[in-house]
Structure 1
């Protein structure tokens, strides 16, 4: 072999041996994980305040009032539920609501639509008397078209004679 070839082989061997690494005697510690600090408020859990879900949760069933047959008067139990609704609406002054009037299946469609309207209006008027602006409240009557209880018995009819307050988002 000539001197040049030997020199190239030696240079290559030296270069390769310089690249080889020995294993360290002690491994470095694993990287530390850091939790970033939140820059804003903590994430919201549960329903958004002022939403229909939050209202329903806060009312615990008192978002609905019930009526006797062919009646639309607000009794003391209904007054308590409507007072609780008014307090919620005063706390969240930017929300609007629709009050839905419903009737049971007995009677004509026209009669039940009119009765549902009287029930919704009675609930609305009571909320207005408690200080809720009438501009924040709408009414709609569904008559017997949206029953909550399907059945032709006294218990079903009693559940369907109602006014329901629904928060608009």
Structure 2
């Protein structure tokens, strides 16, 4: 009986995934226009729910809080850390200050701060270190006036490296917090 369950579970899971994929709507063109009040509207008919949300977020990008002086810093969406550290560098403070300025000017913007580590250390230790890094960035943003409701700190530890190497250069790239806009990103054009 247990062997039957072991065979049935993968088949059932595959069927559910295939059913979910089959019910998704195909990609469609996204068309943006202007309302009489000046706000942007997006025609999302024919899009899946996720695609419609992404299209609305991109159309809802804001230039409020974006200056020529902070564009380069707003384009940077990653801050890096030294080994076993949660200290922010002076360069990273400038990047975070630009993002804080944008977030304060755009109360509808939402950001996920994802903490990452290099591969050294246990999974548990790295999850905690990734969280401390994300919280360090979150704390800085809050102290500069960003609403805590606009921020979410998440840790991935060593589970999502961007460089699969096993040397200091790879480890240096992987020790990071990513700034991921989930709603109303900066318009940098």
TM-score range, shorter chain: 0.5 to 0.7
How far, CA to CA, are the matches of 2:40 and 2:114 in structure 1?
33
The 3 A distance-change label for structure 1 pair 151 and 91 is same
**Equivalent position SS for 1:117:** helix
Equivalent residue for 1:108? 122
Equivalent residue for 2:136? 122
How far, CA to CA, are the matches of 1:43 and 1:136 in structure 2?
22
Equivalent residue for 1:83? 97
How far, CA to CA, are the matches of 2:142 and 2:35 in structure 1?
41
Bigger radius of gyration, 1 or 2? 1
Equivalent residue for 1:134? 148
| Aligned residue pairs, count | 126
**Equivalent position SS for 2:146:** coil
**Equivalent position SS for 1:85:** helix
Superposition deviation, residue 39 in structure 1:
8.4
How far, CA to CA, are the matches of 2:111 and 2:124 in structure 1?
25
**Equivalent position SS for 1:159:** helix
Unmatched 5+ stretches in structure 1: 1-37, 51-55
Superposition deviation, residue 60 in structure 1:
2.1
> 1:151 aligned to 2:148?
no
How far, CA to CA, are the matches of 1:127 and 1:133 in structure 2?
8
Q: TM-score, normalised on structure 1?
A: 0.66
The equivalent position to 1:94 in structure 2, one of 102, 105, 108, is 108
How far, CA to CA, are the matches of 2:143 and 2:170 in structure 1?
31
**Equivalent position SS for 2:102:** helix
Q: Structure 1 residue runs of 4+, over 4 Å off?
A: 38-44
Equivalent residue for 1:25? none
Task: Give matches, 1:10-49, under 5 Å.
Answer: 47-48=58-59, 49=61
Q: TM-score, normalised on structure 2?
A: 0.60
Indicate the RMSD between aligned Cα atoms, in angstroms: 2.8
